[in-house]
Amino acid sequence: MNEQLPLMLILLILLLFSKVFGELFERIGIPALTGEILAGLLLGPTVLGLVADSHEIRAIADLGVLMLIVMAGLEIRGSEVRTALKGKNIWIVVLCFLVPGSGGFLVGYLFGFDILFNIFLGFWIAVAALPVSIRILMDLGKLHTDIGRLIISTAMINDILSLLILGVMLDVHEYSVFTAEFTSTLLLNLLRVVAFMSILMIFYRIFRIARNRVGIISPKLNHFLKLLKGRESLFALCMIFVLAFSGLAQVMGLHFVIGTFFGDILNPRELFPEEDFDKVKKTTQGVTMGFLAPIFFAYIGVLIDVKSLTNILFFVFILITVLTGKTLSGYLGGRIAGMSHMKSLTLGIGLNTKGIMELIIANIALQRGFIDINVFTVLVIIAVITTIGTPFMLKRAFRLVDKAESV
């Protein structure tokens, strides 16, 4: 039926329903993305059949992906990440990737999937929803606490590792494992990732030198911005910067998400006045959360096929692995790092968020034919369940931590 509707009318329906459902869910304490996905499910082929997948909607949804990653990156400070991961804290990152990842690999193996799918399932479970974590911690006023910084730092490193693995694995599923075509494609992807990371390191060193000379460079940049007449010139410059890395990733045969993520991290925000950068954050948040993000999450809902959810045992095993893997590994990592019992448990719960990055990776895997609609539906439903449950548990855990510290 969606072929009979103009694109603008489809966007109107998606945005209207997703925002209404998102607002209703937020009013009862559930993240808006859950309502937005549900809106897409209702509008899609599963229920009403008003909207179906199309290249046009997919392109706009990809813009939502780009802006969600940009928005998350604007809340991350590299100095805080480096401080949070010093000393024994590195064990938190290692365990929070290996334990859930191994659990996911084992579940795939038990259900008879091939090795490539098992690896994918492992790193999908290891991913933490960085933008969702940031939003929850901001709402709780805990973003810049010790635990908050550890949650964000660990989530970011896990996301980086997962995106790099995804970059290496893309397209290799088309060939039988260990054949000549498989090996050559895998090596080519690995070379692409290494080459891209090498370019990033060059830019990192350049920007590091620039940051050390902020007193010289910053006034010149500010003078340049004043010469520009557009009110959102800095926002445009930031987007040009990120899009340059996104485009570079695509030219090198990688997914644009990888370039966007790393470009966003490299953004030399210290060179600009804090008040100007705050305006960029507000503009980014308005464009993203007001328009593009709801379209993306509604699009995810449109793709869901509830009737394909037939292997309930597989669904239950993945859900258990997701719920226990991050919590257990976060707790163990926290204890090894010398944190208290309650702080370690809070860390584990905080790392248990699923949502945006998981949905982005699942969507990429579906588009590339790496997973089918059955697995995609399972992953989306699990992401929604954990997204609903984690804020309640994390809020309770932080209350207990605050109570223990006040005694």
Instruction: Determine which of 85-99, 310-324, 391-405 has the lowest per-residue pLDDT on average.
Output: 391-405
DSSP summary character for residue 89: G
Rg (CA), the chain: 21
Q: What is the pLDDT of residue 228?
A: 67
Tell me how far apart the alpha carbons of residues 214 and 271 are, in angstroms, rounded to a whole number.
6
Helix runs in 213-287, H state only = 214-227, 233-251, 256-266, 274-287
**Predicted local distance difference test score (pLDDT) of residue 104:** 93
Average of pLDDT values for 367-375? 86
Q: Are 246 and 256 in contact (CB under 8 A)?
A: yes
Instruction: Show the domain range for 68.
Output: 2-406
Percent of the chain at pLDDT exceeding 90: 22
- Give the tens place of pLDDT for each residue, 203-215: 888 877 776 776 6
Cα→Cα distances 390→132, 293, 326, Å? 10, 20, 12
**242-249 contact pairs (CB < 8 A, 24+):** 242/66, 242/70, 242/267, 245/200, 246/66, 248/196, 248/199, 249/196
Over the stretch 238-272, which tens digit does the pLDDT of each residue have? 899 899 999 999 998 888 888 888 888 787 766 66
Structure pTM? 0.82
Over the stretch 166-175, which tens digit does the pLDDT of each residue have? 888 877 766 6
How much is the pLDDT for 85? 65
Q: Which residue has the higher pLDDT, 163 or 63?
A: 63
pLDDT reported for residue 80: 59
Q: Into how many domains does the chain fold?
A: 1
For residue 1, name the pLDDT band (cuts at 50, 70, 90).
very low
Across the range 86-99, mean pLDDT stands at 86
We report the CATH number of the domain holding residue 382 as: 1.20.1530.20
Q: How confident is the model at residue 234 (pLDDT cuts 50, 70, 90)?
A: confident
Q: What is the mean pLDDT of residues 109-115?
A: 90
